[in-house]
Amino acid sequence: MTRTAEGGPVSRVKGMLRRVEHTYAEDGGRPIRGYLVAMSAFAAYTTGWALLVRRRGRPLPDRPMPWDVALTAVATFRLSRLLSKASVTSPLRAPFTTFVGPQGPAELHEEARSDDRKATVGELVTCPFCVSVWVASSLTAGQLLWPRATRTAMGALTALAGADALQLTYGALVDRTTGD
């Protein structure tokens, strides 16, 4: 069923993908196949977590507690920015990105490499919104499998987000009062 002969199923799927890519972005500037791979990887990742939760026999809550949702949101925000923008995590992104310059306090502006195989990963790892989907899924799974440890880590990330907000507020107040 995986024949690559002309007219075979694999050939037809590849042709369909080429047509979709061309009609979606005539200049070919959008890595549709890469996005499809990323979506498939995310589906496999979340399926793996779901299977592990099921295997462990952990009961799912009837609904998430509002405190857990808030804690997860702030921790997801902070960890996503740490992974996708922080200077200290740039070695993780470097194989897929190119440094452009600084972008805000302790953050970098990087762009995805143009190599087709690295472009999608580069876009993913430099986008805090994209990374947050993976982080939120991981933290949710962590809450189901290791609730105490995960909540402790999320508490630390939330404290870090609060400290960042205080640092930025303090810096703005100093600038305002000293005129710098």
pLDDT by residue (tens digit) across 59-76?
Answer: 888 998 999 999 999 999
% of the chain with per-residue pLDDT over 90: 69
**pLDDT level of residue 35 (50, 70, 90 thresholds):** confident
Contacts of 107 (CB under 8 A, 6+ apart): 81, 85, 86, 87
Q: What is the pLDDT of residue 42?
A: 96
Question: Using an 8 Å Cβ cutoff, are 109 and 49 in contact?
Answer: no
Q: Which long-range contacts (CB under 8 A, 24 or more apart) does 80-87 make?
A: 80/128, 80/129, 80/131, 80/132, 80/135, 81/107, 81/128, 83/125, 83/128, 83/131, 83/135, 84/125, 84/126, 84/127, 84/128, 84/130, 84/131, 85/126, 85/128
Average pLDDT over residues 111-133: 90
CA distances from 27 to 19, 112, 114, 123 (A): 12, 17, 14, 18
User: CA-CA distance, 56 to 142, in Å (whole number)?
Assistant: 12
User: CA-CA distance, 113 to 156, in Å (whole number)?
Assistant: 33
User: CA-CA distance, 85 to 107, in Å (whole number)?
Assistant: 5
* End-to-end Cα spacing for the chain: 69
Average pLDDT over residues 51-58: 92
Structure tokens at 120: 């999608």
**Closest by Cα among 44, 52, 42, 70 to 144:** 52
Question: Using an 8 Å Cβ cutoff, are 72 and 138 in contact?
Answer: no
Please give the model's pTM, rounded to 2 decimal places.
0.83
CA distances from 130 to 119, 126, 159 (A): 14, 8, 22
Structure tokens at 179: 């005129």
